[in-house]
Amino acid sequence: QYDFATRVEGKDVERVVNEAVNQMLKEDLQWKPDKFETLLRLLAEAIHDKIKTLKKPYKFVVTIDIGPNVGAGMDFSLVAFWEADYDGHVKVNWTNGNIFIWVVVFWIKN
């Protein structure tokens, strides 16, 4: 049976994602695709580490999309089968005028 005390609140996940993003990404970051592999891996790890401090019995998946900010739109869709009362996701967008980054975090009750 689910323990209601262990529910993940989206606002808590969004807060820690924003903390990690704001600590690691700088306003003068330029679009250099060959430099982003390591940065994005480290950012995903930092987000995951911060989420672990919430001490919730969930599996978390962190995805990051990045691109040059050239005025084009970006959209994505999601199809998932989960327990809507416990599982969920948040999206965090960051941009500095040169690039955009979308971070999506999913959580699934263990």
Q: Which residues contact 68 (CB under 8 A, 6 or more apart)?
A: 31, 98, 99, 100
Closest CA to 94 of 11, 31, 25: 25
Count the domains in the chain: 1
Closest among 43, 42, 36 to 18, alpha carbons compared: 43
The average pLDDT across 8-20 equals 94
pLDDT in tens, 46-92: 999 999 988 888 999 999 999 898 877 777 777 778 888 888 999 99
Say how far apart CA 28 and CA 25 lie, in whole Å.
9
Whole-angstrom Cα distance, residue 54 to residue 74? Answer: 30
| DSSP code of residue 4 | G
Strands (E), 1-110: 58-68, 88-95, 99-109
Residue 21 lies in domain: 4-109
- Asked if 15 and 103 touch (Cβ cutoff 8 Å), the reply is no
Cα separation, 32 vs 15, in Å, equals: 27
CATH number, position 33: 3.30.1140.40
The whole-chain average pLDDT of the chain stands at 87
Q: What is the pTM of this model?
A: 0.85
